Amino acid sequence: PSTLGGAGPLRTVSPAIAIRRWRGRVDVGPTTALGRETGAALAVFGRVLDAGPDSVRLTAALVDVPRRSVVAEFEFRGAADRIGSLADSLTVALLDQIGRARPIGAVRHAGLTAVPLPALKAFLQGEQHFRHAHWDSAIADYERSVAAAPEFALALRRLSLTLGWQRSGEDSLGQAYAFRAGAANHGFAPRESLLVVAESLNAALWEFTREPQWWPLSRRLFETLDAAARRYADDPEVWYELGEARFHFGYWHGIGPADALRAFDRAIELDSAFAPAYIHPVELALIHEGPRAALRYAAAYTAARSGAAKGAGIPLVARLLRPDAARLDLDRLLDTIPTDAIHNAWLTLIAWPDSAETAVRLLRYLVAARRGQTPIADDSVTNNRLLASMLSFRGHLHEALATADPGYAPVLVDAALLGVVTPDSALRASRRWLAAGQLVPAGAALPLWEATADTTAVQAYTRALTADAVPHESLRRYLVARAAASLALAQGDTADAVRRFAALPESLCGGCQSVLAQARLTTAQLLSSRGRHQEAVLRLGPELPGLVRPMAVFTAPARAQANERLGRTQEALSDYRFVAEMWRTADSAFVAYRDEARTAVARLTGEVR
């Protein structure tokens, strides 16, 4: 049983691997074969049989794998609704038997004694649905399990995970279940306890800037999962969880998409029928290897879902990646697909630099055809701002300005920095944000104040940070340091600006994406201007997931130029090509950047433009 894991020096094979690799009858031969295949020295097989109207009989045998012999046999009887107690009795008996031949020392038994049979049965049924990414069915089963055992941490954890997939990681109900699981994390084997801890940390991190301990918690998440991967190196779910953490939160710790994909690939290698492990690799492969690689993951995902009629967007992604996708009547196709599937497909395709700009088309459909409602928000202002950000990301700032309301800071500031609107209009708006105490949009104007040497605005912003509008003290301290760096740059003191930007206390900024990404870009540009290219590359780090702003694209040429000067041709080419494709049909404000990237590709490859 998995409850033996962590008992002294004992380590157990992952249940997923044991179930997947089992072949043949429940007997000594197949058990020995499985033990040899998984490198186990001992193996257990058994049965649960009816023993009357309300009772069951549990039989089991302990097998010495190298000797192909049964060491001991066990039998327990009890009430059908107390099967957890029978399993615990078997665990105790196994530990006693193993301890006679091997020095396992004093151990703390971890069991499921308090979990009633209905909760266990519902949980195990949910596990099967979760494996196949059947979210609705899995949620129903986990909810029945939690209803029967409100403090059953394993079911609470899975319920949190499944709600995260069905809705989003920011779903408050899913977060609440994760925190309940963490509070009830008692009496389980180390593997299960580590995964419960990881899920509670993961839920806390989705609070981003609202969680003042964001950085310490994110470090603890990676420490927890890295330790689990070392301890359970052949456990597919541990690698899947590590891939999820790397995908969503790796950016802040210098962990890139390639690291996330390696973790997912390891999970898939260990358990190719575990459908959730394929979802994010579709996106990662699409960006870094192209549509053909993404389609391989999408096809494997579809197969692992056991023929379910509807997916969470991956089947739609696969259809849109096919070579004949250009001939699709996209609106007619989307009319037949659930909103959440379209939304998930959009999330997967956001950073794909295809000439058809499919992600823009999907979001435009969601905002228009769904009458202003998307799975993200149910008000037209928020959705129009999201569409405006997506348009600006692909270099269509004129349309972005026409789509968003006039007070939307990110698009207005980007338009001013790129000369699409006059700086004066954006500066007037930034002063209104300051006067109204709107420090979030005002903070977006820092690059504009730097570029226009508006020291008065930067100083006014610094004074405003003493008000109560900042979510928590650590973020306030980061923004004060950021404003001081901006002031040095606005004053023309580049030496002081380099020093201040390089020393920004990122650990105070929580998961604040846009603020941190802009500061890192400015820092890297300053470092490169002084020939410190290696530091610039390290400062830029990997791609930031989910940031739909032009700055997310501008990071690519900054990193490419630094890598080119360091002689890292392939790394530079990847970023130059991304820029050239992302802004293939962009507004005139982006043409110079696109053409510069094309020229760099030709220079580094010898291709003729």
**Weakest mean pLDDT among 44-48, 267-271, 339-343, 475-479:** 44-48
Average model confidence (pLDDT) across the chain: 86
* pLDDT score at 6: 47
* pLDDT score at 568: 95
Return the half-sphere exposure (C-beta side, CA atoms, 13 A cut-off) of residue 383: 20
CB atoms within 10 A of CB 590: 24
20 — pLDDT class (breaks 50, 70, 90) = low
Is the pLDDT assigned to residue 58 strictly greater than 70? yes
- Say how far apart CA 99 and CA 44 lie, in whole Å: 15
Tokens of 35: 């033990």
Which helix or strand (DSSP H or E) is residue 350 part of?
none
What lies within 8 Å, CB to CB, of 409 at 6+ separation is 429, 430, 433, 440, 441, 442, 444, 445
Q: Which residues pair with 45 in a beta bridge?
A: 61
* pLDDT score at 40: 82
* pLDDT score at 564: 95
* pLDDT score at 62: 86
DSSP 210: G
Is the pLDDT assigned to residue 354 strictly greater than 60? yes
- Say how far apart CA 133 and CA 308 lie, in whole Å: 9
Return the half-sphere exposure (C-beta side, CA atoms, 13 A cut-off) of residue 269: 10
Report pLDDT digits (tens) over 157-216. Answer: 999 999 998 888 788 899 999 999 999 998 787 888 999 999 999 999 988 767 778 889
- Say how far apart CA 267 and CA 264 lie, in whole Å: 5
Q: In what order do the strands lie in the sheet with 42-50?
A: 42-50, 55-64, 69-79
Region for residue 492 given its phi and psi (left: phi exceeds 0; alpha: psi -120 to 50; beta: otherwise) = left
Find out whether 133 and 276 touch, Cβ atoms under 8 Å: yes
For residue 334, give Cα distances in angstroms to 291, 380, 411, 448.
20, 20, 28, 39
